[in-house]
Amino acid sequence: MLRRTFAALTVSAISTIAAPLVAQDGEAIRIGEINHFKRMAAFAEPYRKGYEMAVEEVNAAGGIDGRPIEVIFRDDQGEPGEAIRIAEELMTREGTVMITGSILSNVGLAISSLADRQGWVYLASEPLADALVWSEGNPWTFRLRASTYMQAAMLAEEAAKTDAIRYATIAPNYAYGNDAVAAFKEVLTELKPEVEFVVEQWPQLFQIDAGAEVQALERAKPDAIYNVTFGPDLAKFVREGGDRGLFDGREVFGLLSGEPEYLEPLGPEAPEGWVVTGYPWYAFDDRPNAEFVSAYETRWDETPKNGSLVGYMTGLSVAAALREADSLEPDAIRAAFEGLSVTGPVGEVIYREIDNQATMGAFVGTTAVEDGQGVMVDWSYRDGADYLPDDETVSERRPSE
């Protein structure tokens, strides 16, 4: 694999910058960012702040050969059609050289399809559906964050260590939820063939009838529950399930459930003992992660969320690719992303040439309530490269290009 390295400023340098932007002589390089800033503000706003902080850092160091990066942020309301309209406007009228962003997988897949047709580079910062880089993957779409398969595999690894045999699942009924359940079932069955899945619940995204879902899960009498709900759906599920004793005496594995965007709003009602992926910003003592948290708090006067880290790494990734590219032509930027290596708070992240999936990992730990607040304890960072199928399997799942 061709590996290219972006030598970024250390995170600690951010706090020493006197002003967020440094004037430069060259014309700005414009990047189009499309996201659901109103519909999913809990994740999107911290993401934007992390992104802006990374761009400020790059520009303060001289930008890209003397040219500053300028990000044009646009809100798509979480609608695929609106996202496509905005992407076309950004690339044909606003002079942007590539597109970044999206949280919801259905929106990310729509932008990805457009990028493939038009020959535009799209860095899918957050959409997690496996289809984005596998079954519907294309040469123009790259994904930063650990996919549903990667994070589900991390949780399946922990689930296989328990005595649980009968599993129930609950996930939103769209691309991300479908992929997340399929991946968990696939990996857990490989690790522990005797497991069985006794019920699958598929609430509509952000329209969960938590009472009915909890009743259905309880009737199945599972040993363990795999939860993929997030945002307001997670809050309703946790509260209803807690009130009805659904989680008592059962193992629960929660994809994204430890992210502060979703865990902190629960306060003292946060679940305890769930094994989750998340972002324990409050517990870092290692240098890169701790420095990022400190710099973010200094810059924005608030604590970071997982979106903050994803946004920051998006900005660093964009800068790395632009520095590596021979020009600002789409083909040059696309080629720069293939095998690109970016170093940030979580260490080195590589955009794999085989499927354009980055190796950014995730934090896995157990939920607890401390001082009236939900937190992750006993956590560790899992390298995403360790939780992907082998190259032969990936090649089978990704269409030939």
Boundaries of domain holding 154 = 149-279+362-392
Residues 265 and 194 grouped into a single domain: yes
Strand partners, 365: 276
- Which amino acid, one-letter code, is at 90? L
- Which amino acid, one-letter code, is at 131? A
Residue 103, in any domain of the structure: yes
Contacts of residue 79, Cβ cutoff 8 Å, sequence gap at least 6: 107
- Which amino acid, one-letter code, is at 337? F
Helical ranges in 199-343 per DSSP H = 210-219, 231-243, 260-263, 287-300, 306-324, 330-337
The C-alpha angle with vertex 38 and arms to 69 and 20, in degrees rounded to 5, equals 30
Residue 401: its pLDDT value, please?
63
The number of residues in the chain equals: 401
CATH (domain of 15) = 3.40.50.2300
Residues 299 and 198 grouped into a single domain: no
Residue 400: its pLDDT value, please?
76
Residues 142 and 289 grouped into a single domain: yes
Residues 170 and 264 grouped into a single domain: yes
368: its two tokens:
């607890």
125: its two tokens:
């910062």
Residue 399: its pLDDT value, please?
86
- Residue 56's H or E segment, with its range, is helix 41-60
- Which amino acid, one-letter code, is at 104? L
Tokens 């599972």 locate to 222
SS3 103: coil
Residues 184 and 274 grouped into a single domain: yes
Residue 399, in any domain of the structure: no
DSSP structure class, residue 400: -
Residues 90 and 207 grouped into a single domain: no
Q: Across the 401 residues of the chain, what is the mean pLDDT of every consecutive 10-residue run? A: 39 34 71 97 96 98 98 98 98 98 97 98 97 97 98 98 98 95 98 98 97 98 98 97 97 97 96 98 95 98 98 98 97 98 98 98 98 97 97 92 63
In a 13 Å sphere around the CA of 135, the CA atoms on its Cβ side amount to: 7
Residues 265 and 378 grouped into a single domain: yes
Residues 180 and 88 grouped into a single domain: no
Tokens 């708070």 locate to 345
User: Other C-beta atoms within 10 Å of 25: how many?
Assistant: 8
Residues 51 and 311: beta-carbon distance below 8 Å: yes
Residues 220 and 347 grouped into a single domain: no
Residues 318 and 125: beta-carbon distance below 8 Å: no
223: its two tokens:
């040993």
pTM strictly above 0.75: yes
Residues 248 and 304 grouped into a single domain: no
